[in-house]
Amino acid sequence: MSLPVVLRAEAEAEFDEAFDFYDGRGTGLSRMFAAAIQAVFDGITAQPRMHAVALADVRKAVVRRYPYCVYFRPHPDRIEVLSVFHTSRDPSIWQGRV
């Protein structure tokens, strides 16, 4: 059974910012980015413990073809997404949310 994905406000803002960036870069890029993020969400809801531990109880899933990672915390009843994080940013940004 798949768990629901719940994005923190910061993670949702990061996704929106990235989506807008790709939307301005070319036809279909934002749709492909959203599909890549959805594929990560599908994977982490199906098998959250398959992904590497990044810090304490936070796990990391790499987004294919994009310089992003999804940092998440699995709970018994949901997956909490802490960050949709561009890999060139300072990791202390998402780590401060733990």
Separation between Cα atoms, residue 73 and residue 60, nearest integer Å: 9
Task: Domain 5-96: give its CATH architecture.
Answer: 2-Layer Sandwich (3.30)
| pLDDT tens digits, 44-98 | 999 999 999 999 999 999 999 999 999 999 999 999 999 999 999 988 888 888 8
**Residue-range domain boundaries for the chain:** 5-96
Sign, Cα dihedral of 76, 2, 28, 61:
positive
pTM higher than 0.85, yes or no? yes
Q: How wide is the angle at C-alpha 60 spanned by C-alphas 23 and 17, nearest 5°?
A: 20
